[in-house]
C-alpha cells in the first residue's frame, strides 16, 4: 500500500520548541550540575550544595504537589523528590545530587520529545500558505488569509499550495491531495470540482472560488481533531494509570521492609529509582500521538487513543452497502438482444435516445453508458412518461417504449419471457409491436472492495457482514461477489442498529462502516464507527470515531494495521521498556551490584527505549498482517 511522500520538518523545528520556560530549565540543570561539580572538588561548602539542590528540586516539587492535589496522582516528580531527600538525610550528598541532575535531564528530554511528536502532526500533514493571490475588481493582489472573504477568487499556479477550500471556476490542473486524503496519485481538477486547503497544484493552474478559509477549512478541522485526539485516553492507558495508583503503597511498604532489614539508605535510594510506577504512564501517550499522526498522513482520522485501541481489538466489521461497498448509482452491466437483427451498439444508442429527456436515475445510467462509448445520441421528438411503467417516445420517425415487463404486456408486446430480475433492474426496449432487447442495470462495486475484505479477514477479522436496505436478492448477489460471511437485507436504519446490538450480544467487538450520516445510529452503537468519504463533509468528519477522507475501502485495512501496530508497540513498551529494565534494576540493586548514580544513568534506558519504539510509528512500513514480513 503506497503512502504519500511527506516533506521533512524544517531543520529548526527543535529550536522552535525551546520556549523561554525550557531555556530556564536548561539553565537550572546546568547551574545545579556546576554546583555539584564544585562541591565534589571541595571548592564549595555543603550549604551551597544544598541551596543548589533546592533550586533544582523546586520545579519537581511544584509539579508533583500540583498533580497530587488536583489529580490525586503521584508521579515521577514525587519519587525523585523523596529519593533525593532520603539521600541527603542519609549523608549521600553527591549520589543524591547526581541522581537529581540525571533525572532532571531525563524529564527534560521526555517532555521535549513528547511536544516534538505532537508538533510532527502538522509537519506530517503539511501546512497552508498564509497569503494568497486574489483577483478583485479585475486586479490581482496578494492578501493575508485573514483578509480573504468567501466568494473571492484565488489564483494558484503550479508548485503552489492551495490556501482555501473552494470550487474550481477556471483552469485545469493535477492536484496532490495527499495531505488531506492520503491519495498517492494526483487528482485532475476541472471547473466545478472541489479543492482543499493544504493540497498542492502539481501541474497547471487554477482559479478557485473561496468557500472556506482559515479555521473553517477541512485542513484546519483535521489539525484540530488530530491534536485533540490524544486527550481521549485508551483503556490500556487508563489501566496503566490505575496500576500506578495501586503500586504506590505497595512500593513504599516494600522499601520500608527493605530498610528495616538492611538499614541501608544508599540501597533505598537506588530502589526508589527503579520502583517508580509513574513511568507506566510514559508507555502509551507517545504511541498514541505517533499512531494518530501516522493515520492522519494516510487520510485516516482517528478521534482518540480509545478508538485506536478498540479498532485493534475489533473482530467483526459490518458494512453498509450503498455508497460504501458500491458507488450508489446504477450502471449498465449487460445488454441482451431479443431481436437478433439489431446490434448491441445500436440497441444502446436507441435506448439512450429514448431516455435522453428523462430525469430518472436509470435513464441517466443508460445515457452515461452511451456517452462513455462516444456514441452520438439521437434526439426524440415526442416524450411521454407513464408512472410506474416507463416512457413512450418518437425517435427517428418510430415509436419506442422503454420500461418494465408490465409496460410491454400492457401494450400488447408478448416477448417478456425473461421476467423481472430481483437481483438487478432491467429496462426493456420495444418498437413496432416487438421487444428489441433488454438492458440490465445494477449498482457496481467499488474497485478493490473484494481485495480489501479478503485482507481484513487475513488480518484477524472473524466475520465481515453487509447491512443494506435493498432487496435480499440484490444484497445476496453483491455479498457473494465480495465474499461476505452474512448479508442482512431489507433493513431500515433502526433495524441496522438492532443488528449491531445482536452481533455485540453474541460477543463480537463490532466496527460499523457507513457514510457517517444515514448510518448514524449504527455507527454510534458500534465499538468503532467508521465514516467513508469524509473529506469536505463536516457532518461525516465529526460523526464517526474514525473518518476516512476518501472512499478507498483499502484504507480500513490500513487503519486497522496502524491500530494493531500501535497496540503491539504499547505492549512492547510496557514489557521491555518498563517491566524488564525495572525488574533487572531492582534485582541488581538488591544484589548490591549498582548504586544510586548507576541506577540514575540506567533510568534513562526505559525513557529512551519507549521514545524510540514509539516514534518509529511515524516512519515504519506498516502493512496488513497477511503481507507483513515482520
Task: List, in sequence order, every residue forming a beta bridge with 391; answer none if it has no partner.
Answer: 385, 402
Coil/strand/helix, residue 390:
strand
Q: CB 411: neighbour CB atoms within 10 A?
A: 16
pLDDT at 145 over 80: yes
- Asked if 164 contacts 210 with a C-beta cutoff of 8 angstroms, the reply is yes
**Does residue 239 share a domain with residue 338?**
no
Distances (CA, A) of 10 to 7, 120, 122, 165, 177: 9, 10, 11, 25, 21
CATH code at position 358: 3.40.1110.10
Range 236-258 average pLDDT = 71
Q: Are residues 117 and 240 in the same domain?
A: yes
Could you read off the pLDDT of 534-586 as tens digits, one per residue? Answer: 654 565 566 678 888 888 888 999 999 999 998 888 888 877 766 777 788 88
Is 232 within a domain? Answer: yes
pLDDT at 493 > cutoff 80: no
> Using CA atoms, how far apart are residues 576 and 582, in angstroms rounded to an integer?
9
CB 320 within 8 A of CB 328: no
Note the pLDDT of residue 227.
63
pLDDT for res 7 = 38
Is the pLDDT higher at 368 or at 593? Answer: 593
| Residue 373: band (very low, low, confident or very high) from pLDDT cuts 50, 70, 90 | confident
436 near 350, Cβ under 8 Å? yes
pLDDT band (50, 70, 90) for residue 119: low
What nine digits make up the cell of 347?
440497441
Reply yes or no on whether the pLDDT at 482 is more than 90: yes
Say if residue 435 is in the same domain as residue 413: yes
Give pLDDT, residue 184. 61
Q: Are 158 and 95 in a shared domain?
A: no
- Indicate whether 624 belongs to any domain: no
Q: Structural domain of residue 57, as residue ranges?
A: 13-123+226-291+562-618
Host H or E run for residue 510: strand 510-514
For 344, residues 6+ apart whose C-beta sits below 8 A from its C-beta are 335, 337, 437
508-521: string of b/e by CB count within 10 Å (b at 16+)?
A: bbbbbbbbbeebbb
Q: Taking residues 408-414, report their average pLDDT.
A: 85
Distance CA 522, CA 467 (A): 10
How far is CA 234 from each of CA 231, 488, 524, rounded to the nearest angstrom?
Answer: 9, 32, 18
536, 220 contact by CB (below 8 A): no
Instruction: Name every residue whose Cβ is closer than 8 Å to that of residue 237 and which is 6 or more positions away in sequence.
Output: 281, 284, 285, 288, 305
Q: What is the number of other CB atoms lying within 10 angstroms of the CB of residue 591?
A: 8
b/e string for 153-163 if b means 16 or more Cβ within 10 A?
bbbbeeeebbb
Residue 423 in contact with residue 477, Cβ under 8 Å? Answer: yes
pLDDT of residue 625: 46
**Which set of grid coordinates corresponds to residue 242?**
490505575
Cell of 264: 541501608
Domain check: are 434 and 350 in the same one? yes
* Rounded Cα gap, residues 405 and 426, in angstroms: 9
Q: How far apart are the first and last CA of the chain?
A: 16
% pLDDT > 90, the chain:
21
User: 310 with 527: CB under 8 angstroms?
Assistant: yes
Q: Is the pLDDT of residue 74 over 90?
A: no
Q: How many domains does the chain have?
A: 3
CA 159/CA 168 separation, integer angstroms:
17
Is residue 400 predicted with pLDDT exceeding 90?
yes
Among 214-218, 373-377, 527-531, 606-610, which is the least confidently predicted range? 606-610
Q: Are residues 83 and 176 in the same domain?
A: no
Is residue 33 situated within a structural domain? yes
**Do 332 and 439 fall within a single domain?**
yes
Percentage with pLDDT > 70 across the chain: 82
CB within 8 Å of 605: residues ≥ 6 apart:
581
Instruction: Tell me which residue of 73, 132, 76 sits closest to 100, measured CA to CA.
Output: 76
How many CB atoms lie under 10 A from the CB of residue 612?
12
pLDDT, residue 11, reads 40
Question: Which one of 398, 423, 444 terminates a domain?
Answer: 444
| Residue 360 shares a structural domain with residue 389 | yes
Q: What are residue 81's DSSP bridge partners?
A: none
Mean of pLDDT values over 393-399 = 91
Cell numbers found for residue 314: 475489533
The grid coordinates of residue 440 equal 440490465
pLDDT beyond 50 at 37: yes
pLDDT band at 240 (very low <50, low <70, confident <90, very high): low
pLDDT digits (tens, 9 = 90+) for 307-365: 888 899 999 999 988 778 887 777 888 888 888 888 988 999 999 999 888 877 778 88
Tell me, what's the pLDDT at 82? 78
* DSSP strands (E only) in 217-356: 300-302, 316-320, 326-337
- The residue written with cell numbers 453474541 in the block is 506
Angle at 609 between CA 273 and CA 103, to 5 degrees: 35
Query: Is position 250 within any domain?
Result: yes
Q: Give mean pLDDT, residues 71-88.
A: 74
Do 275 and 252 contact (CB within 8 A), yes or no? no
Final residue of a structural domain among 216, 240, 264: 216
Same domain, 332 and 362: yes
* Residue that is written with C-alpha cell 460523526 in the block: 543
pLDDT at res. 276: 67
Q: Is residue 389 scored above 60 in pLDDT?
A: yes
Residue 265 domain-assigned? yes
Section 269-277 average pLDDT = 77
**Average pLDDT over all residues of the chain:** 80
Task: Average the pLDDT over 113-130 and give the result.
Answer: 63
Whether 242 and 281 share a structural domain:
yes
**Residue 225's pLDDT band (boundaries 50, 70, 90)?**
low
Which residues are part of the catalytic machinery?
320
Amino acid 591: pLDDT? 93
Both 115 and 18 in one domain: the answer is: yes
CA distances (Å), origin 407, targets 147, 214, 344, 401, 427:
60, 56, 22, 8, 10
Instruction: Give a yes or no: residue 362 inside a domain.
Output: yes
pLDDT tens, residue by residue, 147-204: 999 999 999 999 899 999 999 999 988 898 876 776 667 888 999 999 988 888 988 9
20 and 165 fall within a common domain? no
pLDDT of residue 50 exceeding 70, the answer is: yes
pLDDT in tens, 587-606: 999 999 988 878 877 776 77
pLDDT tens sequence across 511-534: 999 875 567 778 888 999 898 876
Across residues 5-32, what is the average pLDDT? 68
CATH number at residue 209: 2.70.150.10
The 3-state DSSP class for residue 421 equals coil
Please indicate, yes or no, if residue 309 is contained in any of the structural domains.
Answer: no
Of 192, 216, 240, the residue at which a domain comes to its end is: 216
Amino acid at each position: 500500500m503506497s503512502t504519500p511522500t511527506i516533506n521533512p520538518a524544517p531543520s529548526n523545528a527543535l529550536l522552535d520548541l525551546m520556549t523561554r520556560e525550557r531555556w530556564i530549565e536548561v539553565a537550572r540543570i546546568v547551574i545545579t550540575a556546576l554546583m555539584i561539580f564544585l562541591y565534589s572538588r571541595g571548592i564549595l561548602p555543603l550549604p551551597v550544595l544544598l541551596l543548589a539542590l533546592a533550586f533544582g528540586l523546586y520545579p519537581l516539587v511544584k509539579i508533583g504537589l500540583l498533580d497530587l492535589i488536583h489529580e490525586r496522582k503521584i508521579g515521577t516528580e514525587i519519587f525523585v523528590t523523596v529519593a533525593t531527600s532520603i539521600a541527603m538525610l542519609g549523608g549521600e550528598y553527591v549520589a543524591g545530587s547526581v541522581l537529581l541532575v540525571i533525572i532532571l535531564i531525563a524529564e527534560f528530554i521526555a517532555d521535549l520529545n513528547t511536544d516534538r511528536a505532537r508538533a510532527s502532526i502538522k509537519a506530517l500533514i503539511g501546512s497552508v500558505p498564509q497569503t494568497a493571490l486574489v483577483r478583485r475588481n479585475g486586479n490581482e493582489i496578494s492578501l493575508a488569509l485573514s483578509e480573504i472573504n468567501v466568494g473571492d477568487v484565488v489564483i494558484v499556479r503550479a508548485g503552489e499550495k492551495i490556501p482555501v477550500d473552494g470550487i474550481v471556476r477556471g483552469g485545469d490542473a493535477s492536484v496532490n491531495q495527499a495531505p488531506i486524503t492520503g491519495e498517492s496519485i494526483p487528482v485532475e481538477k476541472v471547473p466545478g470540482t472541489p479543492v482543499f486547503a493544504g493540497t498542492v497544484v502539481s501541474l497547471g493552474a487554477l482559479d478557485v472560488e473561496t468557500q472556506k478559509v482559515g479555521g473553517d477549512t477541512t485542513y484546519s478541522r483535521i489539525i484540530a481533531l488530530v491534536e485533540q485526539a490524544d486527550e481521549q485516553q485508551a483503556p490500556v492507558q487508563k489501566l496503566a494509570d490505575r496500576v500506578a495508583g495501586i503500586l504506590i503503597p505497595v512500593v513504599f511498604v516494600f522499601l520500608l521492609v527493605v530498610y528495616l532489614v538492611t538499614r541501608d539508605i544508599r540501597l533505598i535510594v537506588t530502589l526508589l529509582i527503579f520502583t517508580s510506577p509513574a513511568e507506566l504512564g510514559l508507555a502509551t501517550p507517545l504511541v498514541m500521538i505517533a499512531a494518530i499522526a501516522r493515520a492522519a498522513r494516510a487520510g485516516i482520522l482517528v478521534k482518540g487513543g480509545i478508538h485506536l485501541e478498540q479498532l485493534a481489538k475489533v473482530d467483526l466489521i459490518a458494512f453498509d452497502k450503498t455508497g460504501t461497498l458500491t458507488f450508489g448509482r446504477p450502471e449498465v452491466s449487460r445488454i441482451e438482444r431479443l431481436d437478433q437483427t439489431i446490434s448491441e451498439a445500436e440497441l444502446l444508442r436507441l435506448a439512450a435516445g429514448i431516455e435522453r429527456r428523462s430525469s430518472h436515475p436509470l435513464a441517466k445510467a443508460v445515457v452515461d453508458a452511451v456517452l462513455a462509448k462516444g456514441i452520438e445520441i439521437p434526439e426524440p421528438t415526442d416524450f411521454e412518461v407513464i408512472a410506474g411503467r416507463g416512457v413512450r417516445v418518437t425517435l427517428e420517425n418510430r415509436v419506442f417504449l422503454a420500461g418494465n415487463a408490465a409496460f410491454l404486456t400492457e401494450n400488447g408486446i408478448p416477448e417478456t419471457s425473461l421476467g423481472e430480475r430481483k437481483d438487478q433492474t432491467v429496462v426493456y426496449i420495444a418498437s413496432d409491436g416487438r421487444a428489441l432487447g433488454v438492458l440490465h442495470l445494477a449498482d457496481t462495486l467499488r474497485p478493490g472492495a473484494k481485495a480489501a475484505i479478503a485482507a481484513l479477514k487475513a488480518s484477524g477479522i472473524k466475520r465481515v457482514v453487509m447491512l443494506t436496505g435493498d432487496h435480499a436478492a440484490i444484497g445476496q448477489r453483491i455479498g457473494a461477489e465480495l465474499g461476505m460471511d452474512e448479508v442482512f437485507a431489507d433493513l431500515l436504519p433502526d433495524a441496522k442498529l438492532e443488528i449491531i446490538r445482536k452481533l455485540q450480544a453474541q460477543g463480537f467487538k463490532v466496527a460499523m462502516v457507513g457514510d457517517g450520516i444515514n448510518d448514524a445510529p449504527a455507527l454510534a452503537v458500534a465499538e468503532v464507527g467508521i465514516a467513508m468519504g469524509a473529506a469536505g463533509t463536516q457532518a461525516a468528519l465529526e460523526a464517526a470515531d474514525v473518518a476516512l477522507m476518501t472512499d478507498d475501502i483499502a484504507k480500513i485495512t490500513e487503519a486497522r494495521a496502524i491500530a494493531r501496530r500501535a497496540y503491539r508497540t504499547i505492549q512492547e513498551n510496557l514489557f521491555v521498556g518498563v517491566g524488564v529494565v525495572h525488574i533487572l534494576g531492582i534485582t541488581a540493586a538488591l544484589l548490591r551490584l549498582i548504586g544510586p548514580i548507576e541506577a540514575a544513568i540506567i533510568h534513562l534506558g526505559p525513557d529512551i527505549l519507549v521514545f524510540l519504539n514509539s516514534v518509529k510509528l511515524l516512519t515504519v512500513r506498516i502493512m496488513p498482517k497477511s503481507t507483513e514480513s515482520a
